[in-house]
Amino acid sequence: MSIKAKILLDEEEIPKAWYNIQADMPALPEPPLNPMTKEPVKPEDFVPIFPMGIVRQEVSTERWIPIPEEVREVYRLWRPTPLYRAKRLEEKLKTPARIYYKWEGVSPPGSHKPNTAVAQAYYNMKEGIERLATETGAGQWGSALAFGCMVFGLKCTVYMVAASYDQKPYRRIMMETWNAEVYRSPSRNTQFGKNVLGDDPNTSGSLGIAISEAVEDAATHDDAHYSIGSVLNHVILHQTVVGLEAKQAFEQIGEYPDVIYGNVGGGSNFSGACFPFVGDKLTGKRPDLKVVACEPMACPSLTKGLYLYDYGDCAGMAPILKMYTLGHTFIPPPIHAGGLRYHGDAPLLCKLVKDGWMEAVAYHQTDVFRAAKLFAEAEGHIIAPESAHEVKAVIDEALNCKEEGREEVIFFNNSGHGHFDLGAYDAFLQGKLVDYEYPVELVKQALANLPKIP
Amino acid sequence: MSIKAKILLDEEEIPKAWYNIQADMPALPEPPLNPMTKEPVKPEDFVPIFPMGIVRQEVSTERWIPIPEEVREVYRLWRPTPLYRAKRLEEKLKTPARIYYKWEGVSPPGSHKPNTAVAQAYYNMKEGIERLATETGAGQWGSALAFGCMVFGLKCTVYMVAASYDQKPYRRIMMETWNAEVYRSPSRNTQFGKNVLGDDPNTSGSLGIAISEAVEDAATHDDAHYSIGSVLNHVILHQTVVGLEAKQAFEQIGEYPDVIYGNVGGGSNFSGACFPFVGDKLTGKRPDLKVVACEPMACPSLTKGLYLYDYGDCAGMAPILKMYTLGHTFIPPPIHAGGLRYHGDAPLLCKLVKDGWMEAVAYHQTDVFRAAKLFAEAEGHIIAPESAHEVKAVIDEALNCKEEGREEVIFFNNSGHGHFDLGAYDAFLQGKLVDYEYPVELVKQALANLPKIP
Write out pLDDT tens, residues A116-134: 999 999 999 999 999 999 9
Q: Which residue has the higher pLDDT, A279 or A3?
A: A279
Residue A428 pLDDT exceeds 90: yes
Q: What is the rounded distance in angstroms from the CA atom of residue A180 to the CA atom of residue B377?
A: 11
Q: Environment class of residue B2 by beta-carbon count within 10 Å: exposed (0-12), middle (13-18) or buried (19+)?
A: exposed
Q: Interior CA angle at B146 toward B141 and B152, to 5°?
A: 130
pLDDT in the model for residue B209? 87
All residues of chain A having their beta carbon less than 8 Å from the beta carbon of residue B379 are: 77, 108
Q: How many domains does chain A have?
A: 1
Where does the pLDDT of residue B2 fall: very low under 50, low under 70, confident under 90, or very high at 90 and above?
Answer: low
Query: Would you call A136 helix, strand, or coil by DSSP?
Result: strand
Instruction: Tell me, yes or no, whether B425 lies in a domain.
Output: yes
A361-400 pLDDT per residue, tens: 999 999 999 999 999 999 999 999 999 999 999 999 999 9
Where does the pLDDT of residue A304 fall: very low under 50, low under 70, confident under 90, or very high at 90 and above?
Answer: very high
pLDDT in the model for residue A209? 87
Q: Environment class of residue B284 by beta-carbon count within 10 Å: exposed (0-12), middle (13-18) or buried (19+)?
A: exposed
Contact (Cβ atoms closer than 8 angstroms) between residue B90 and residue B121: no
CA distance A321 to chain B (A): 35
Rounded mean pLDDT of A92-111?
98
Among B11, B147, B373, select the one facing A380 at the smallest CB separation.
Answer: B147
- Give the range among A95-104, B57-66, B166-175 with minimum mean pLDDT: B166-175
Task: Report the 10 Å Cβ neighbour count for A426.
Answer: 18
Rounded mean pLDDT of A410-420?
97
All residues of chain B having their beta carbon less than 8 Å from the beta carbon of residue A380 are: 77-78, 107-108, 147, 151
Where does the pLDDT of residue A163 fall: very low under 50, low under 70, confident under 90, or very high at 90 and above?
Answer: confident
Q: What is the rounded distance in angstroms from the CA atom of residue A380 to the CA atom of residue B149?
A: 11
Q: State the complex-level ipTM.
A: 0.95
CA B177 to chain CA mean position, Å: 23
CA distance A290 to chain B (A): 28
Instruction: Tell me, yes or no, whether A283 lies in a domain.
Output: yes
Give the CA distances from residue B370 to residues A196, B101, B377, B425, B431, in Å, rounded to whole numbers and listed in that order: 38, 18, 11, 10, 11
With an 8 Å Cβ cutoff, is B168 touching chain A? no
Residue B1 pLDDT exceeds 70: no
With an 8 Å Cβ cutoff, is A88 touching chain B? yes
All residues of chain B having their beta carbon less than 8 Å from the beta carbon of residue A108 are: 376, 379-382
With an 8 Å Cβ cutoff, is A427 touching chain B? no
Q: Across the A/B interface, how many CB contacts are shorter than 8 Å?
A: 107
Among B1, B150, B376, select the one facing A177 at the smallest CB separation.
Answer: B376
Instruction: Tell me, yes or no, whether B331 lies in a domain.
Output: yes
Q: From the candidates A89, A177, A181, A182, which should be mutated to test the interface with B, based on the most B CB atoms within 10 A?
A: A177
CB-CB under 8 Å, A429 with B177: yes
Give the CA distances from residue A222 to residues A36, A189, A217, B92, B277, in Å, rounded to whole numbers and listed in that order: 22, 16, 10, 29, 55
All residues of chain A having their beta carbon less than 8 Å from the beta carbon of residue B420 are: 419
Residue B142 pLDDT exceeds 70: yes
Sequence-ordered list of residues with C-beta below 8 angstroms from that of A205, at least 6 positions apart, any chain:
A161, A162, A163, A165, A184, A185, A186
Instruction: Tell me, yes or no, whether B27 lies in a domain.
Output: no
Instruction: Return the closest-CA partner of residue A173 out of A154, A148, A151, A146.
Output: A146
Instruction: Tell me, yes or no, whether A331 lies in a domain.
Output: yes
Rounded mean pLDDT of B255-261?
98
CA distance A207 to chain B (A): 24
Contact (Cβ atoms closer than 8 angstroms) between residue A351 and residue A33: no
Contact (Cβ atoms closer than 8 angstroms) between residue A281 and residue A291: yes
CB-CB under 8 Å, B422 with A177: yes
pLDDT in the model for residue A2? 67
Instruction: Tell me, yes or no, whether B144 lies in a domain.
Output: no
With an 8 Å Cβ cutoff, is A381 touching chain B? yes
Among B1, B77, B173, select the one facing A379 at the smallest CB separation.
Answer: B77
Which residues partner with B292 through β-bridges?
A: B261, B359
Q: What is the rounded distance in angstroms from the CA atom of residue A355 to the CA atom of residue B381?
A: 42
Total-model pTM: 0.96
pLDDT in the model for residue B3? 82
Instruction: Return the closest-CA partner of residue B256 out of B208, B215, B221, B291.
Output: B291
Q: What is the rounded distance in angstroms from the CA atom of residue B440 to the CA atom of residue B444?
A: 6
A215-274 pLDDT per residue, tens: 999 999 999 999 999 999 999 999 999 999 999 999 999 999 999 999 999 999 999 999
Enclosing domain of residue B264: 6-13+69-110+233-447
- Average pLDDT of chain A is 95
B181-190 pLDDT per residue, tens: 999 999 999 9
With an 8 Å Cβ cutoff, is A169 touching chain B? yes
A135-161 pLDDT per residue, tens: 998 899 999 999 999 999 999 999 999
Nearest CA in chain A to B82: A78
Among A76, A382, A420, select the one facing B5 at the smallest CB separation.
Answer: A76
> Phi/psi of residue A290, each to 5°?
-105, 135
CB-CB under 8 Å, B2 with A76: yes
Q: Environment class of residue A352 by beta-carbon count within 10 Å: exposed (0-12), middle (13-18) or buried (19+)?
A: buried
Contact (Cβ atoms closer than 8 angstroms) between residue B244 and residue B15: yes
Query: The domain that contains B87 carries what CATH number?
Result: 3.40.50.1100
With an 8 Å Cβ cutoff, is B174 touching chain A? yes
With an 8 Å Cβ cutoff, is B12 touching chain A? yes
Nearest CA in chain A to B14: A4
Q: What is the rounded distance in angstroms from the CA atom of residue A17 to the CA atom of residue A88?
A: 34
CB-CB under 8 Å, B108 with A380: yes
pLDDT in the model for residue A334? 85
Q: What is the rounded distance in angstroms from the CA atom of residue A242 to the CA atom of residue A231?
A: 16
CA distance A363 to chain B (A): 21
Taking the CA of residue B24 as centre, how many other CA atoms within 13 Å lie in the half-sphere pointing to its CB?
18
Task: Report the 10 Å Cβ neighbour count for A60.
Answer: 15
CB-CB under 8 Å, B382 with A108: yes
Please state whether beta strands B320-325 and B306-311 pair in parallel, antiparallel, or not at all (unpaired).
antiparallel
With an 8 Å Cβ cutoff, is B425 touching chain A? yes
Q: What is the rounded distance in angstroms from the CA atom of residue A232 to the CA atom of residue A186?
A: 24
Instruction: Return the closest-CA partner of residue A269 out of A31, A60, A103.
Output: A103
Residue A318 pLDDT exceeds 90: no
* DSSP H or E run through B57: helix B52-59
> DSSP characters for A400-453?
HHHHHT---EEEEEE-BB-TT-HHHHHHHHTT-PPPPPP-HHHHHHHHTT----
Q: Which residue has the higher pLDDT, A359 or A164?
A: A359
CB-CB under 8 Å, B1 with A177: no
With an 8 Å Cβ cutoff, is B453 touching chain A? no
With an 8 Å Cβ cutoff, is B77 touching chain A? yes
With an 8 Å Cβ cutoff, is B47 touching chain A? no
What's the start-to-end Cα distance of chain B, in Å? 65
CB-CB under 8 Å, B5 with A11: yes
A397-408 pLDDT per residue, tens: 999 999 999 999
With an 8 Å Cβ cutoff, is A76 touching chain B? yes
pLDDT in the model for residue B380? 97
pLDDT in the model for residue A244? 98
* DSSP H or E run through B65: strand B64-66
All residues of chain B having their beta carbon less than 8 Å from the beta carbon of residue A376 are: 108, 177-178
CB-CB under 8 Å, B426 with A173: yes
Q: From the candidates B167, B414, B422, which should be mutated to test the interface with A, based on the most A CB atoms within 10 A?
A: B422
With an 8 Å Cβ cutoff, is B422 touching chain A? yes
Q: Interior CA angle at B218 toward B21 and B42, to 5°?
A: 45
Residue A75 pLDDT exceeds 60: yes
Instruction: Return the closest-CA partner of residue A415 out of A179, A115, A215, A119.
Output: A115
Q: What is the rounded distance in angstroms from the CA atom of residue B220 to the CA atom of residue B319?
A: 18
Rounded mean pLDDT of B291-318?
92
Instruction: Tell me, yes or no, whether A285 lies in a domain.
Output: yes
Instruction: Tell me, yes or no, whether B215 lies in a domain.
Output: no
Where does the pLDDT of residue B133 fall: very low under 50, low under 70, confident under 90, or very high at 90 and above?
Answer: very high
